[in-house]
Structure 1
Amino acid sequence: MTAVPHLAVRRLLEYKLDSSKAEMTQHNWIVGFFLNGALISALVAFFIAQLSKVFTHYYQEQTWEWTRLISSGGMPSSHTALIVALTTAVAVENGTSSSLFAVCLVIALIVMYDATGVRLHAGRQATVLNIIIAEMPPDHPVQDSGRLRDSLGHTPIQVVVGALLGVVVGLVMESIFLHATGARPLGSDSGLAGVAGTAAVAGLGPPATAAVAGTPTEGAMLVPARF
């Protein structure tokens, strides 16, 4: 009979603790951006890819073009690096069996397919249209629109390099964040021990303290044994 009031007090304390954590999270939501390993991994991979375009363009054209920092197209694919780094970081943190990883992987495949398909051919069409526009008279109305952007898509090798960059950055950055925060990946626990630990944290199972023979514990009073 005494277990019921004790259980009510326990639930009340858990509710107070969860409420205080929620308030702390609301006040520190800005700090959360800098503690999000998956987000930082994606942004770092995108920045490295965009910066690399300046040097790869110089290697090909022997001219420095700093507009490559904010332009699309070129080597490597920054969009691919962005989404693949995010997918890799999510895989490290949540495991490849999580639904979040599945969502990120599907989006990554769509982005890579779009880069080598629709965007690549749209850029080639823009190149042909620019040639046609250049041959028209200067007073033609189409001359007022200027040149079309022809650097849109990526070749398969540019996408592959961007994907490799994303995998490396995602693995390194997420590992650094997990080591710095002391957190463990959600997919690291396996077997009966991992399932039991998860159930104990969620409050779905009995306490971890073993009962002495012949002495009933609080968990045994609240949760009947089932075989």
Structure 2
Amino acid sequence: MFNNILVISASSWFVAQILKTLIHAVKNKKIACERMIGAGGMPSSHTAMVIAALVTTGRIDGVHSSVFGIAAVFSAVVIYDALNVRHAAGLHAKELNTINRLFNFRIREENSEKVGIKELNEFLGHTPIEVVGGAVVGLLVGFLFPIK
């Protein structure tokens, strides 16, 4: 059995993750393989995935179907979370990492030993442009991928 929505959504996520890895490599002049599975960055793979699911649902069941309505609500929640909740968590992680580095520096000067908390992941949420980038990927994959 072939599920168009799952295959097209997963394909959109994969395309976004490849783009994210390439963009990160060009921007930072080094390849970071963890970007292939990591959250955050340009484009938003979460947004790409839910938009592809939304578009494919509309193509298969129509935009007036209940399933399309559910997909639209789900997409809105995921995008809101990426823009607000996870983005704020990433900003908090960045500040906590800065505080931790300062704390470790002072402790090392006083005691010659390193203490503190583990470095937190700062790549969690998305800026509006990263979400728009993910939406574009989701729209393109959702509309261009053939329906079986």
- One of 93, 105, 130 as aligned partner of 1:158: 130
Find the counterpart in structure 2 of residue 42 from structure 1. 9
Percent identity between the two aligned chains: 35
- The amino acid of 2:52's aligned partner reads A
Q: CA deviation at 1:167?
A: 1.1
Find the counterpart in structure 1 of residue 92 from structure 2. 125
Runs of 4+ in 1 over 4 A off after TM superposition: 138-141
- The amino acid of 2:22's aligned partner reads F
Q: Find the aligned partners of 2:114 and 2:66 in 1 and give their Cα distance.
A: 55
Q: Find the aligned partners of 1:51 and 1:140 in 2 and give their Cα distance.
A: 37
Deviations 1:51-78 (A, max 9, x none): 1111100221111111100110000000
Q: Find the aligned partners of 1:153 and 1:177 in 2 and give their Cα distance.
A: 31
- The normalised TM-score by structure 2 is 0.90
Q: Find the aligned partners of 1:44 and 1:63 in 2 and give their Cα distance.
A: 25
- The amino acid of 1:163's aligned partner reads A
Q: Find the aligned partners of 1:101 and 1:55 in 2 and give their Cα distance.
A: 32
Give yes or no for the alignment of 1:177 onto 2:147. yes
Question: Between Structure 1 and Structure 2, how many residues are aligned?
Answer: 141
Q: Find the aligned partners of 1:86 and 1:127 in 2 and give their Cα distance.
A: 32
- The amino acid of 2:50's aligned partner reads I
- The amino acid of 2:49's aligned partner reads L
Find the counterpart in structure 2 of residue 81 from structure 1. 48
Find the counterpart in structure 2 of residue 203 from structure 1. none
**Partner SS, residue 117 of structure 1:** helix
- The amino acid of 1:130's aligned partner reads N
Q: Find the aligned partners of 1:172 and 1:40 in 2 and give their Cα distance.
A: 13
Q: Find the aligned partners of 1:177 and 1:123 in 2 and give their Cα distance.
A: 37
Q: Find the aligned partners of 1:106 and 1:140 in 2 and give their Cα distance.
A: 47
* Structure 2 unaligned regions, length at least 5: none
Compare relative contact order (CA 8 Å, sep 6+) and give the higher one, 1 or 2.
2
Q: Find the aligned partners of 2:81 and 2:140 in 1 and give their Cα distance.
A: 22
Q: Find the aligned partners of 1:177 and 1:148 in 2 and give their Cα distance.
A: 41
- The amino acid of 1:70's aligned partner reads I
- Structure 1 or 2, whichever has the larger Rg, is 1
Q: Find the aligned partners of 2:36 and 2:71 in 1 and give their Cα distance.
A: 25
Find the counterpart in structure 1 of residue 39 from structure 2. 72
Deviations 1:13-35 (A, max 9, x none): xxxxxxxxxxxxxxxxxxx2xx1
Give yes or no for the alignment of 1:134 onto 2:106. no
- The amino acid of 2:43's aligned partner reads P
Q: Find the aligned partners of 1:126 and 1:78 in 2 and give their Cα distance.
A: 21
- The normalised TM-score by structure 1 is 0.60
Find the counterpart in structure 1 of residue 79 from structure 2. 112
RMSD across aligned positions (CA) = 1.3
